Amino acid sequence: MTPKRQMAVTTLLIFGFSVALIGLLFFFLLFASSTKELKKINDDFYLHPFTVNRAASSLKISLYAMRDEALMLVLMRSRNEAWRNDSDQIDAFEREAYQSLDVVKANFLGDMSRVARIEKEMHEWHDIRADIMEDVRRGNFAAADNKVKAMGTPKFNEIVGQVDYVLDYSLHKASQFVADADYTSDADLYHGRVLALALFLSVLVTSVAVVLRVRCLHYVLMRQATRDALTGIHNRRSFLGLVQEEEYRSTRYEQPFSLAVVDLDHFKKVNDTFGHHAGDVVLQHFCAVCLAGLRQSDVLGRLGGEEFGILMPNTRSVEARMVIERIRLALAESVVHDGAAEIRITGSFGLVTSESLSTEQNIDSLFKTADVALYSAKAHGRNQVVAVAAAA
């Protein structure tokens, strides 16, 4: 394989590997991008909403517990040791409420002014509860009842309303997380399929291109190995192989074949008179004349120099002589033009048919018989066909 063809194959292979590498890189980038998007969704629409929802629910529970304990103290109208314990319990619930509020403040994604309002109203409710507890401690139960109804309960309802807003918003965000996650997953799946299809098609196209290029190179190499560089017909090695195959087929199926050996008359004189370029033109002209006169099944090969062989499968002697005579006549009547020079050329033909070929006779003896006929044609004045049967 020539360096140029090696470079062509190498270029195709490099291109194929490059396409595959780029495809893998795009897959990696798609995976990294998808992971980043899913992490953002997890942080913004999953971690925050559910954390806030849990904290807001705990806050609401603590608020109700505080309110229930405070109302119980007012209703019991007692200032005994149990009152002190219940008061401490209210303080514990309040601390839990503020802890939950801190979680909401750190993770809430909605209107933060509403969260600030909860904190402000919780401070106000703390002051109202303190006044009520002081009235209970002093035994002013009527005043405590009035403050519960006039200030405590309304303020509690305002706080619960703001907490419900936080709960509703977090649930909405959780639903949005599910929708966004589904959309992102579907989009990533679609992009992955498109990229996989593009990569598959790129690799397929590259593989087909490589296969076609290799087949083309194989064809070129086979042609170089079997064809004569000057005339384009079968070279000696290829032609002898075809004759060998035809001999096997003829022996097996008992079908005759004919072989003609051709030598151009006075070819050396053409080279000496008109130059080697003119000799090459004459050889090409002879091949063109032969190919025009031969049948589709016949084979023309160059045995060397100005000597050629013609193989005619499944052809008896009479039919073979007609074909060769037609070629001889066409060659003798033709004129080769090389620049201003007009060259006429003839050929001597030795023809042999395998009809009487014995089982002991091989290709070498067949060619020897054809050569004998060729020499006879030259000895009797050239430009003629001498046909003989193979020795039995």
Catalytic residue list contains 306: yes
The dihedral through the CA atoms of 114, 116, 120, 126 has a sign that is positive
User: With 0-12 CB in 10 A as exposed, 13-18 as middle and 19+ as buried, what is 19?
Assistant: middle
Residue at token pair 């560089």: 229
CB 308 within 8 A of CB 302: yes
Q: Do the bridges between strand 336-338 and strand 299-304 make them parallel or antiparallel, or are there none, so unpaired?
A: unpaired
CA 363, CA 361: separation in Å to the nearest integer? 7
Q: Do the bridges between strand 258-264 and strand 385-389 make them parallel or antiparallel, or are there none, so unpaired?
A: unpaired
Q: What does the block give as tokens for 151?
A: 């200030």
Q: List b or e across 283-292, with b for residues whose CB sees 16 or more CB atoms inside 10 angstroms.
A: bebbbebbee
Instruction: Kindly state the DSSP code that residue 20 receives in the 8-state scheme.
Output: H
Radius of gyration from C-alpha coordinates of the chain: 53
What dihedral do alpha carbons 238, 240, 245, 250 form, nearest 10°?
150
CA 124, CA 142: separation in Å to the nearest integer? 21
Strand positions, DSSP E, the chain? 258-264, 299-304, 307-312, 336-338, 341-343, 347-353, 385-389
Backbone angles phi, psi at 379, to 5 degrees: -65, -25
CA 381, CA 331: separation in Å to the nearest integer? 16
Q: What does the block give as tokens for 356?
A: 């009487």
Catalytic residue selected from 94, 306, 325, 360: 306
Q: What does the block give as tokens for 241?
A: 């192989």
Residue at token pair 């003896």: 365
Residues designated as active site: 306
